[in-house]
Amino acid sequence: MFITSQIVGTVATITLRGSFGFSEHRDFRKAVKEQLAGPCTVLEIDFDGVDYLDSSALGSLLLSREEAGVAGKSIVLVNCRGTVKQIIDIANFHRLFTIR
């Protein structure tokens, strides 16, 4: 998986490309922690280039949500399509995250 980050105003965006599984969770968590430590109030996770995610990816998202809440920030999941959207829907993440 390839991860890039950018900040525009108070919104930080982490863009993911490729498969998001167990072997990628450390890099993802590092990127999230770096952005949550910064000035952003909203962290967008962009799934536009993600073709697969597994249960460890879902767990990483839940941990990130918890950390964001402690920091007084929110996480928004964007561009969830195809298989990724199906997995997000089955996991009922619409109850936990804003999804656009």
Considering the entire predicted model, what is its pTM? 0.95
Which residues constitute the domain of residue 57? 2-99
82: left (phi over 0), alpha (psi -120 to 50) or beta: left
**Cα separation values, 19 from 25, 53, 69, 76, Å:** 11, 6, 26, 19
Report angle CA 6, 21, 52 to the nearest 5 degrees. Answer: 85
**Residue 42: CATH number of its domain:** 3.30.750.24
pLDDT per position as a tens digit, 68-98: 999 999 999 999 999 999 999 999 999 999 9
Count up the domains in the chain and report the number. Answer: 1
For residue 52, the surrounding DSSP H or E stretch is strand 42-53
